[in-house]
Structure 1
């Protein structure tokens, strides 16, 4: 019996040694090199006052990530995504189905290509193509603006205050409904924002202590704990009533930077203007944002299979999509 145990132990040690010999450290120089791709994000709507295009470089999966100052980027309050660096020297052209086109210039202060919508109005039902020629490759994407909109109907708004003194902040809880556009496939998302006149008081030690008044817009976020989704489809729900998740807008405690000066905001006491938006979006918009949302909610869990992020950008990554939105304003 003792002989059998000794043979078993010898076998175990030999097996472990054999396993260890299979582990080889590969130097970084011999790893396959990832290829940077152009990442394009642009979202257009007839209701927007500007056309914005964000061009960045993808971060290869292999290799060491270097933080170059560009972290998370936001474009038009639509998408938050990780980027490897802004592409500044591209030629960006937007074209409609009639072959009318416009060049979109780069605005360095915003690290984004920006054009006033009045120079190239976006129209419902029209198809647009965007092309970008960059030093690391050329990309192209197309989208069609949905033709119809639907308005926010019943809504519920609750307010409360948290904190005290200079840390006091006002919080809005918002929900609203809308009716699905019947007899067609639709994809929706929603937005909520509040514009309020604030009294901005300079921080102590500022040369000019005179307060100023300024309208500031605060954008809400959606808490999906009530099982409603931020991105919804009318599959099997044609013509029915849709509802938002729980919307939260909080403001009043964050410092404000205006013209290089730092201010502490307080409420002026005037009424707030609340904007409730329903976006009838393209399928490209829905598929992309929903996939990003699902991946973000996994919080890096290694035991959950990642969801592939779709793209409609040829030779690149990202999303170019359109929406047609209704905006209901409420004085509260």
Structure 2
């Protein structure tokens, strides 16, 4: 018993010593001794022949010692001169405070496939920020497939409904793609929210692609062949007593609108970097994923895409 008490006493003093030692490693840091890294400018601008508005976003990164000036740590730059040009034609984008971006009507400088555009951002007391991109040709969607799979989530069975887009890849050059979509539906349940006309209101949601699979692809191994997108999920229904609720009983009307974006390399690299970063979110052991940039003198992306659209009516 004596030896046991001596052992417990020794462990107590060792633990106390370690706690005191750890506390002594904590030092207050004088903010004046920190390196004052200057804030960086971030520019994002995407061009498409289908868009009605030319838009660019110009923000400033938030340093450790500077207070945030905007929502969610985003500090908009409101005094920039933003110019978009193609050959000897150009247009200045004006700042819109309600949207925190610079914009202009696309009619003032039409975006045409095959042409190269230059973006110039001039901020007082800074060097001009520049970038160029070339608009790719459109690639038409050939068809879409609607299917489902049963999966277990939190001990319950769910039937997940998804769509896949299909298209013919043009041969002879590298191509980069992004698939997006909208799911428009009207529920059949009588208790759902109704509009003033007394009918069930239409719901609109994005087609959801899994972060690990993503909705960006390249044709590296599929040159000149028919390509298929990853599953884009539109609905998930609980399987009651191992019997799935029929999709047609859940919805009165259902429509999927799919978009195939044939993008340039800069747009693809930027979106793929964002996708990879989303995969590592919340993982403290994951390596940081740098987001590619093609803005000379700043961070961000100036890219282009050409969009084709296909509508698929799941329930009329």
TM-score (norm. length: structure 1): 0.69
Q: Does residue 247 in structure 1 map to residue 228 in structure 2?
A: no
**SS of 1:63 mapped into structure 2:** coil
Q: 1:285 aligns with which of 267, 272, 278?
A: 267
2:132 corresponds to? 142
Q: Deviations over 1:231-264 (max 9, x none)?
A: 211113211222222213469xxxxxxxxxxxxx
Structure 2 CA distance for partners of 1:268 and 1:287, relative to 1, 3 Å:
closer
Preserved contact between residue 180 and residue 215 of structure 2 (Cα < 8 Å)? no
Q: Deviations over 1:266-313 (max 9, x none)?
A: x996x5553211111111111111122112211143322212222111
1:232 corresponds to? 217
Preserved contact between residue 276 and residue 327 of structure 1 (Cα < 8 Å)? yes
* 1:93, distance to aligned residue in structure 2 (A): 0.8
* 1:182, distance to aligned residue in structure 2 (A): 0.9
Shift >4 Å, 4+ stretches: 16-25, 195-202, 209-217
Structure 2 CA distance for partners of 1:36 and 1:298, relative to 1, 3 Å:
same
Q: Does residue 38 in structure 1 map to residue 41 in structure 2?
A: yes
TM-score (norm. length: structure 2): 0.72
Aligned counterparts of 1:301 and 1:268: Cα–Cα separation in 2: 38
Gaps of 5+ in 1: 1-15, 72-82, 160-170, 203-208, 252-266
Q: Does residue 54 in structure 1 map to residue 41 in structure 2?
A: no
* 1:38, distance to aligned residue in structure 2 (A): 1.4
1:323 corresponds to? 305
1:91 corresponds to? 81
Q: What do you get for the CA RMSD once the two structures are aligned?
A: 3.7
Structure 2 CA distance for partners of 1:30 and 1:287, relative to 1, 3 Å:
same
* 1:31, distance to aligned residue in structure 2 (A): 0.2
Q: Does residue 298 in structure 1 map to residue 299 in structure 2?
A: no
Preserved contact between residue 224 and residue 246 of structure 1 (Cα < 8 Å)? no
Aligned counterparts of 1:39 and 1:329: Cα–Cα separation in 2: 35
Gaps of 5+ in 2: 1-18, 149-159, 237-249
Preserved contact between residue 70 and residue 86 of structure 1 (Cα < 8 Å)? no
Q: Deviations over 1:204-226 (max 9, x none)?
A: xxxxx78799987533231156x
Preserved contact between residue 53 and residue 114 of structure 1 (Cα < 8 Å)? yes
Structure 2 CA distance for partners of 1:31 and 1:50, relative to 1, 3 Å:
same
2:71 corresponds to? 70
